[in-house]
């Protein structure tokens, strides 16, 4: 079964078409990259898939459940880490994790157990007692992803997870995301081309709400005869304007 | 369960913000003390009773609630403006769980604030030799619950509509209005004409009045004031719930 199926999905904001009749299938356990320039429709697509926004037409399914009709079931299967850090600032790292466990219906003891596991998996122990607002951007982003994973989602949406981070913090997060590959389905939006190339099993390049090209990084480079992924991206994006 | 988890988070956020203590708890007690000192220096011939402890304590209690409104508005508007609510919107939480989760902790703080203000009033009344009744304090604390709901409703409303920059400004207007037209620093009974009418129509003076009457065991006109406060409380709270739900839906468009 496909983890995600998108069928003729369209999203309009008044006259502006943010997502234009896209169709896509993402396999179970795949790390799928959505690439595009600003306003390409990446975040809007992600918002529709994560039940944060309603499509104007078309439909999307998460493990066979409709994101517009079976919202309750879909929300239990997914989690999201947004491009802005979404943490409770005055709660400690551990409290933030326990809080999200409780919100997804786990009992207190289970939430604590899961929080401790996340602290270990994400090497958060040195900051576990610190208030989230006192953490650096890199640590906050790491916590934000841990908060998304504590609920053991089948599908994880990462919306520009390394935006604004320094190169070291970004590489550390790459390591964390890489470790998740194959275990859960991940849909990643990013502006960093090298990030998409390094992490993604397949990549879709979006411009003006359309999917212009789809394949592995190698396939995309080959399709336009470029050696560098950046050149391939530019060529694909320009070709379709 | 989710409601209580969310309420717990909101409670911790409030308790860990030092401004909550300064504005919600410290400021009313300081105002109570300062106004009592000022009242001592007003000659008896002035016949000014508004700052006497039996009138001042209920006024300050209602004044304190305006800061509860401010903190409600700030918390919601900050959550809305950041990505934190986006994360929760993607969770299985329902709109009513958000609203109750915001209301419970702020209601606890409002009740505690009222208790502290009245306790401080009682201590001050003993010091100045004009003891207020303990049973009056108890009844007045209960009577002021609809007023607390009303101010929390205002906070929910402003926090749902405005961002974290605009919401405090709107709250400041309500704080000023409640001080002036609520009879906290102004003897509304001595007014006449249009201004008095405005004070009577708005809920602030009526809220202070219900507190004063129950504290001093003088219930002439109490029912009318209580009814006005209750109507405002129910209407404002319901409007705030509706607006929050609409904004939540709009945020997801």
Tell how strand A65-66 and strand A57-62 pair up.
antiparallel
DSSP state of A124: -
Residue B224: strand pairing partners = none
pLDDT surpassing 80 at residue B199: yes
Cα–Cα distance list, B118 to A210, B209, B238 (Å): 64, 15, 29
Question: Which burial class, exposed, middle or buried, applies to A59 when counting CB atoms under 10 A from its CB (0-12, 13-18, 19+)?
Answer: middle
Terminal-residue alpha carbon distance, chain B: 28
Q: Which residues of A touch B2 (CB under 8 A)?
A: 102-103, 105
CA-nearest residue to A54 within chain B is B253
CA-nearest residue to A95 within chain B is B9
User: What is the share, in percent, of chain B residues with pLDDT greater than 70?
Assistant: 99
The dihedrals phi and psi of B72, each to the nearest 5 degrees, come to: -60, -50
**Are A159 and A82 contacting, i.e. CB atoms less than 8 angstroms apart?**
yes
> Cβ B13–A91 below 8 Å, yes or no?
yes
Q: How far is A27 from chain B (nearest CA, A)?
A: 22
Domain map of chain A by residue range? 2-86+155-239
The dihedrals phi and psi of A238, each to the nearest 5 degrees, come to: -70, -40
For residue B93 the two structure tokens come to 């939480």
For residue A96 the two structure tokens come to 């933030």
Closest among A17, A26, A15, A33 to A154, alpha carbons compared: A26
Cβ neighbors of B148 (< 8 A, separation 6 or more) are B65, B68, B107, B110, B111, B114
**What own/partner pairs with CB < 8 Å and gap ≥ 24 does B16-19 have?**
B16/A90, B16/A131, B17/A90, B17/B71, B19/B71
The dihedrals phi and psi of A12, each to the nearest 5 degrees, come to: -115, 140
Q: Could you give the CA distance from residue B6 to residue A98 in angstroms, rounded to a whole number? A: 11
State residue A95's pLDDT score. 96
Residue A6: strand pairing partners = A24, A60
Q: Which residues of A touch B9 (CB under 8 A)?
A: 88, 91, 95, 99
State residue A169's pLDDT score. 78
Pick from B2, B17, B82: CB nearest A90: B17
State residue A99's pLDDT score. 95
| pLDDT tens digits, B163-195 | 888 998 989 998 988 888 888 888 888 888 888
> What number does CATH give the domain A2-86+155-239?
3.40.50.300
For residue A155 the two structure tokens come to 């599908």
A95 touches chain B (CB under 8 A): yes
For residue A125 the two structure tokens come to 């122990």
3-class secondary-structure state, position A52: coil
Q: What average pLDDT does this structure show over B23-39?
A: 85
Q: Could you give the CA distance from residue A195 to residue A173 in angstroms, rounded to a whole number? A: 10
Q: Which of residues 92-121 of B touch A (CB under 8 A)?
A: 92-93
Q: Is the dihedral of CA B49, B55, B56, B60 positive or negative?
A: negative
Question: Which burial class, exposed, middle or buried, applies to A174 when counting CB atoms under 10 A from its CB (0-12, 13-18, 19+)?
Answer: middle
B249 touches chain A (CB under 8 A): no
Pick from B13, B93, B252: CB nearest A52: B252
| pLDDT tens digits, B131-156 | 888 999 999 999 999 999 999 999 99
State residue A240's pLDDT score. 52
State residue A55's pLDDT score. 92
DSSP state of A154: S
Q: In which band, very low, low, confident or very high, does the pLDDT at B69 lie, cut at 50, 70 and 90? A: very high
Closest among A67, A112, A162, A10 to B90, alpha carbons compared: A67
Q: How far is CA A84 from the centre of its chain?
A: 12
3-class secondary-structure state, position A152: coil
State residue A226's pLDDT score. 87
For residue B100 the two structure tokens come to 């109750």
Q: Could you give the CA distance from residue A51 to residue B89 in angstroms, rounded to a whole number? A: 8
| The three-state (H, E, C) secondary structure of B119-163, written as one string | HHHHHHHHHCCCCCCHHHHHHHHHHCHHHHHHHHHHHHHHHHHCC
Burial readout B220-232 (b: 16 or more C-beta within 10 A, e: otherwise)? eeeeebbebbbeb
pLDDT surpassing 70 at residue B19: yes
Q: In which band, very low, low, confident or very high, does the pLDDT at B204 lie, cut at 50, 70 and 90? A: very high
A92 touches chain B (CB under 8 A): no
A51 touches chain B (CB under 8 A): yes
3-class secondary-structure state, position B216: helix
Determine the angle formed by the axes of helices B203-216 and B145-161, rounding to 10 degrees: 160
Residues in chain A with pLDDT < 70?
240-241
Q: What average pLDDT does this structure show over B58-76?
A: 91
Complex-level ipTM: 0.85
- Pick from A200-214, B13-27, B115-129: least confident: B13-27
Cα–Cα distance list, B198 to B83, B191, B206 (Å): 41, 11, 11
Q: In which band, very low, low, confident or very high, does the pLDDT at B253 lie, cut at 50, 70 and 90? A: low
State residue B252's pLDDT score. 65
């Amino acid at each position: 079964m496909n983890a995600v199926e998108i069928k003729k999905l369209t999203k309009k904001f008044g006259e502006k078409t943010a997502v234009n009749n896209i169709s896509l299938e993402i396999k179970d356990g795949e790390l799928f990259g959505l690439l595009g320039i600003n306003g390409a429709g990446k975040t809007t697509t992600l918002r529709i898939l994560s039940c944060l926004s309603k499509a104007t037409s078309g439909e999307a399914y998460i493990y066979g459940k409709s994101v517009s009709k079976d919202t309750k079931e879909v929300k239990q299967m997914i989690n999201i880490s947004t491009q802005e850090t979404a943490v409770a600032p005055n709660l400690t790292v551990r409290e933030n994790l326990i809080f999200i466990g409780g919100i997804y219906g786990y009992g207190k003891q289970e939430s604590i157990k899961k929080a401790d596991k996340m602290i270990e998996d994400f090497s958060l122990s040195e900051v576990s007692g610190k208030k989230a607002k006192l953490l650096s951007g890199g640590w906050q982003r790491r916590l934000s992803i841990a908060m998304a994973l504590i609920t053991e989602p089948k599908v994880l949406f990462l919306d520009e997870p390394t935006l604004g981070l320094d190169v070291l913090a970004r590489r550390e997060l790459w390591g964390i995301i890489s470790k998740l590959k194959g275990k859960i389905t991940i849909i990643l939006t990013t502006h960093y081309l090298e990030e998409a190339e390094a992490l993604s099993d397949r990549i879709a390049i979006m411009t003006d709400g359309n999917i212009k090209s789809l394949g592995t990084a190698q396939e995309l480079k080959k399709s336009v005869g470029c050696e560098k992924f950046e050149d391939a991206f530019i060529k694909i994006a320009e070709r379709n304007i | 369960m989710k409601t209580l988890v969310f309420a717990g988070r909101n409670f911790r956020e409030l308790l860990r913000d030092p401004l909550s203590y300064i504005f919600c708890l410290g400021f009313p007690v300081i105002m109570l003390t300062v106004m009592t000192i000022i009242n001592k220096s007003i000659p008896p011939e002035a016949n000014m009773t508004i700052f006497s402890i039996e009138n001042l304590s209920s006024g300050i209690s209602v004044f304190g609630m305006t800061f509860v409104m401010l903190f409600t508005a700030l918390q919601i508007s900050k959550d809305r403006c950041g990505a934190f609510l986006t994360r929760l919107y993607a969770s299985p939480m329902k709109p009513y769980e958000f609203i109750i989760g915001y209301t419970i902790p702020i209601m606890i703080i409002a009740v505690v604030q009222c208790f502290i203000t009245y306790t401080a009033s009682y201590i001050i009344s003993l010091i100045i030799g004009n003891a207020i009744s303990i049973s009056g304090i108890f009844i007045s604390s209960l009577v002021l619950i609809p007023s607390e709901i009303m101010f929390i409703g205002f906070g929910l409303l402003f926090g749902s509509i405005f961002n974290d920059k605009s919401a405090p400004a709107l709250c400041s207007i309500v704080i000023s209005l409640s001080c002036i037209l609520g009879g906290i620093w102004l003897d509304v009974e001595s007014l006449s004409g249009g201004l008095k009418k405005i004070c009577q129509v708005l809920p602030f003076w009526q809220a202070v009045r219900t507190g004063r009457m129950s504290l001093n065991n003088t219930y002439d006109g109490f029912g009318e004031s209580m009814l006005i406060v209750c109507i405002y409380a129910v209407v404002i709270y319901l409007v705030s719930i509706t607006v929050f739900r609409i904004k939540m839906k709009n945020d997801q468009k």
